[in-house]
Amino acid sequence: MDASALKGRRIIVGVGGGIAAYKACELVRELGRAGAEVRVAMTEAARQFVTPLTFQALVGHPPLTDYFDPAQEGNFGHLDLARWGELYVVAPATADLIAKIRAGFGGDAVTTSLLAFKGPVVLAPAMNVAMWENARTQENVESLLKEARFSTVGPGAGMLACGDVGSGRLADVGAIVSAVVARLGGGPLTGKTVLVTAGPTREYLDPVRFISNPSTGKMGLALAHEARALGAKVTVVLGPVGAVDRTGLEVVDVVSAEDMAREVLSRVETADAFIATAAVSDWRPETRAPQKVKKGEGPENLKLVRTPDVLLEASRKVAGRAKRPVLVGFAAETERVVEHAREKLERKELDAIVANDVTAEGAGFGTDTNRVTVISRSGPDRVLQGSKRAVAGEILSLLLVSPRG
Ligand code: CTP
């Protein structure tokens, strides 16, 4: 990450009352180390976890904790804070705090200063997985994200403080710092171009019938949005998936495997990374009838031919190049998942492959969550689990932001 992007930047850290509040101490220290000027606001609940004195020692200024305290308000109150800051990070953003921000409450130092703040806000949610998955919480987050001013980082996937496993862990401090840098106009992938394939392909046998699969493109789009949030220029070559969020992405719509191959091959040489998540149909009908085939005249058997392997052809095209993009494949498997994925890693000469057991609960086609194993040429296999967005963020940080080996 280009930490110099933070030199002299004025950042407010709003601390909510969750067990992850202690990590906010590390966050303000890292922001300070990167050269930012930091001021802290704490909710009353946050003070149950960390004392204001801790932040004062780390930042060099007392945090705003009580907007009714004349001494605090007279010195540097909530309105001064809101005017001073260039960017507001809320970490941890608890379910309660997110709900209050969404509703426009202003009953504590964090929400009042946020109400008066006009700049970009980065929310770093952290809570129990059930609270995170609660429809109310999701609705609150989605509603805030409709405003371009708001963005989220995390929550990460893994073991939570309460012992549950899933999404809800505060994003790594490094990821939060990266999100701040990205919002301020830089990011660890700034200047990089990332090419992604996503969704299914359709192979038509006549104008109204096709061979396809149930892919919804969610994993690929999650990777695309995360890469964009990290500063990359992102192109998605997207099969037919219906309405999706295209904000900030260059989307090239395609239908068949052949279309997808053509669009990818014309772009892969200039990309810094190519991530193939598309569920490309491996077969297509040998012929495509120009008119709808009538029941009576249809063939008893359908003759199929192979479609291009988009990833394999892209890999061959850039093989041996001095500036070869990082190649990442996905492997949708139903058995001997890691073994089959490794075979694909070798055969398609990839840098890494993300293996996905599509039969596992909460994984695969159409789900919002995923459980995957990241297999790369260097470093041990890593199992990641959580929302597709959280898993996407971790895949990118493992393979593109701080590659192993
Ligand atoms: N892929 C591709 N073009 C194809 C088939 C697959 O680009 N025609 C890419 C996928 O996007 C994925 C990887 O190759 O990144 C592996 O896809 P998968 O369907 O799991 O494997 P296949 O190569 O099709 O092998 P098999 O059918 O034997 O499982």
Q: What confidence tens digit (pLDDT) does each residue in 278-327 have?
A: 999 999 999 999 999 988 877 788 999 999 999 999 999 999 998 899 99
- Bond prior to 155 in cis (omega within 30° of 0): yes
d(CA 253, ligand 1 centre) in Å: 19
What is the pLDDT of the chain when averaged over all its residues?
Answer: 90
Q: Which one is predicted more confidently, 30 or 228?
A: 30
The reply, when asked if residue 64 is annotated as ligand binding, is no
Q: What is the pLDDT of residues 337-386, one digit of tens each?
A: 999 999 999 999 999 999 988 888 777 777 778 889 999 987 889 999 88
CATH 3.40.50.10300 domain position(s) in the chain: 193-289+300-401
Identify the residue whose tokens are 């099969």: 239
192 and 228 Cβ atoms separated by less than 8 Å: no
Q: Residues enclosing ligand 1, CB less than 6 A?
A: 197, 257, 276-278, 280, 282, 307, 309-311, 329-332, 344
Exposure b/e, 184-211, CB count within 10 A at least 16 = b: bebbbbbebbbbbbbbbbbbbbbeebbb
CATH 3.40.50.1950 placement within the chain: 3-184
The ligand 1 atom at the shortest distance from the C-alpha of residue 333 is 20
Residue nearest to atom 27 of ligand 1 (CA): 282
Taking residues 15-40, report their average pLDDT: 94
Pocket test for ligand 1, best of 304, 312, 344, 345 (most atoms within 8 A of CB): 344
Q: Whose CA is nearest to atom 18 of ligand 1?
A: 331
Confidence of residue 5 (pLDDT cuts 50, 70, 90): low
**Can you give the pLDDT at residue 1?**
45
25 is catalytic: no
Beta-bridged to residue 235, according to DSSP, are 195, 250
Task: Reply yes or no on whether the pLDDT at 2 is more than 80.
Answer: no
Pairwise pLDDT comparison (183 vs 3), residue with the higher score? 183
pLDDT at 298: 73
In this predicted structure, the answer to whether residue 4 has a pLDDT above a threshold of 60 is no
Q: What is the pLDDT of residue 158?
A: 66
Evaluate whether 376 touches 351 at the Cβ level (below 8 Å).
yes
150-154, 183-187, 270-274, range with greatest mean pLDDT:
270-274
Q: Of 103, 162, 208, 383, which one is the catalytic site residue?
A: 162
Domain at 193-289+300-401: CATH architecture: 3-Layer(aba) Sandwich (3.40)
Q: Whose CA is nearest to atom 9 of ligand 1?
A: 311
| CATH number 3.30.1300.10 is the correct assignment for the domain at 3-184 | no
pLDDT (tens digit per residue) in 320-351: 998 899 999 999 899 999 999 999 999 999 99
Note if the pTM is more than 0.75. no
